[in-house]
Structure 1
Amino acid sequence: MLLWNRPVGPVSYTLILAHGAGAPMDSPFMHDIAQRLAARGIAVVRFEFPYMAALRGDGRRRPPNPQAQLLGCWREVHALVRQQVTGPLAIGGKSMGGRMASLLADELGADALVCLGYPFHAVGKADKPRVAHLADLKTPTLIVQGERDPMGDRLTVAGYSLSDAIRVQWLVAGDHDLKPLKASGFSHEQHLEAAAGSVEAFLAAPGGTPK
């Protein structure tokens, strides 16, 4: 099942947005960001990986499917959406969904890649980064990341070798859901709005190329 948020007016871009490991495609975060992007002329289409879709059927929580299955699902959804839309098509997602998209972006020939809260490493395992493929990524990429994300904070990510095609947009004192500390002076809504604005500006650049 595909869940669409379509702009009222012209569509500037279409973005396939995958959910993270622990929340479905209609979680508050996914719903919020999809609405904000649609209001900016970006059509957003969401889907669920098999393990999350199964949860809807019987209510039993499961761990994510093996990576090969997650990637296979991504390929199928991309092919389906590509048949339905004209114009530029970006892929991406929240956390795990974005990481799976990053593994396929070049293969699929995506026009752009958008990751919200990228899991550069598992929580507490900064010594085991999952970034090897990011060094050679060719697809224009935007990663919106909270400065205190436990899966990749600003200091840790600064030590990684990332492709020149990748732009990282940092949100002050934000966590993995882009939620800031109250002491920062920013609200979660402000950060979500900033994230949507960053995605809009990024996709508006020629070919989705970061400025």
Structure 2
Amino acid sequence: MTEIIDTDAGAARITWHEAKKARLVLAVGHGAGGGIEARDLRALAQTLPAHGVTVALVEQPWRVAGKKLAPAPRTLDVGWRGVWPALAEPGLPVISGGRSAGARVACRTATELGAHAVLALSFPLHPPGKPEKSRAGELLGAGVPTLVVQGGNDPFGKPEEFPEGAYELVEVPHGDHGFAVPKRAEITEEQAVRLITAGVLAWAASLE
């Protein structure tokens, strides 16, 4: 099911993948360079509903409007706030999630919106080649249980670059920012995707 939600940043779109007996809603936003067709988002939407987790894939207003460039972070936050009432409407705990820029949005707004937890896929810890421009404060300030899923070769921040903090981290070996792995890697892309979904499922099952 797809629904259009009017926000102060424009019309956003939610694509629902509903669980028959849901205990959680996982709302996931996309990154600044792509949409909800990303391999990790698709895999979560295909896998989690069978395990009691309804997945809501959220398209920010700029994507719905057909624009190619994401707006400023504060505008992304406005769009996310605007869809939150629809995400919370089923009356279930909502995990606020996203990939890349969407992960930053989820972290920045989690406490304010009353998120149950945060899922950060490919969190952009810093711009490529600029580790001094750290965004660790956003991640560490989420204020709720947080899972980071990070590629081992992500130019926006490798797992070993992440600071210590109150969050869990699942590494996708050899994965880049989109979780693609080289053909010479010891895991295939299919195995990488299964690693992501299994990690998210195990973490979601551990949430109170």
Q: TM-score, normalised by structure 2?
A: 0.87
Give the structure 2 partner of residue 103 of structure 1: 108
For residue 163 of structure 1, what is the aligned residue in structure 2?
165
More helix by proportion, 1 or 2? 1
Which residue in 1 is equivalent to 2:15?
A: 3
What is the 5 A alignment of 1:114-153?
114-153=119-158
> 1:18-74 deviations in whole A, cap 9, x for unaligned?
01111122344432331122233311111211211111xxxxx43211222110111
- Could you report, residue by residue, the CA deviation over 1:130-163 in whole angstroms, capped at 9, with x for unpaired residues? 1123334320000111111111113322xx2x43
Question: Which whole-Å deviations, capped at 9, do the CAs of 1:63-119 have from their partners, x for residues lacking one?
Answer: 211222110111111122212x12221111111111111111111121111111111
1:58 aligned residue: none
CA-based RMSD of the aligned residues comes to 1.7
Q: 2:81 aligns with which of 75, 78, 101?
A: 75
Q: Does 1:183 align with 2:184?
A: yes
Residues 1:182 and 1:62: Cα distance change in structure 2 (over 3 Å): closer
Asked if the contact 1:50–1:65 (Cα under 8 Å) also holds between the matched residues in 2, the reply is no
Q: SS of the residue aligned with 1:142?
A: strand
Structure 2 unaligned residues grouped into runs of 5+: 1-12
Runs of 4+ in 1 over 4 A off after TM superposition: none
Residue type at the aligned position of 2:109 = L
Instruction: Quote the Cα distance in structure 2 between the aligned partners of 1:187 and 1:48.
Output: 28
User: Does the 8 A contact of 2:40 with 2:196 survive in 1?
Assistant: no
In structure 1, distance between residues paired with 2:197 and 2:38: 17
Q: Does 1:26 align with 2:37?
A: yes
- Contact 2:107–2:141 (Cα < 8 Å) also in 1: no
Question: Are 1:65 and 2:66 counterparts?
Answer: no
Q: Aligned partners of 2:165, 2:159: CA distance in 1, in Å?
A: 16
Alignment gaps of 5+ in structure 1: 56-60
Residues 1:133 and 1:23: Cα distance change in structure 2 (over 3 Å): closer
The alignment partner of 1:182 has SS state of coil
Distance 2:40 2:192 in 1: 12
| Structure 2 CA distance for aligned equivalents of residues 32 and 136 of structure 1 | 28
Could you tell me how far apart the structure 2 residues matched to 1:193 and 1:176 are? 16
Rounded Cα–Cα distance in structure 2 between residues aligned with 1:66 and 1:138: 23
Equivalent residue pairs, number? 196
CA distance in 2, matches of 1:28, 1:156: 24
Amino acid corresponding to residue 115 of structure 1 in structure 2: A
3-state SS, counterpart of residue 51 of structure 2: coil
Does residue 87 (structure 1) correspond to residue 92 (structure 2)? The answer is: yes
Larger deviation: 132-141 or 91-100? 132-141
Measured at CA, do residues 27 and 137 of structure 1 come closer, stay the same or move farther in structure 2, by a change above 3 Å? closer
Q: State the alpha-carbon separation in 1 of the partners of residues 174 and 191 from structure 2.
A: 12
Q: Which has the higher strand share?
A: 2
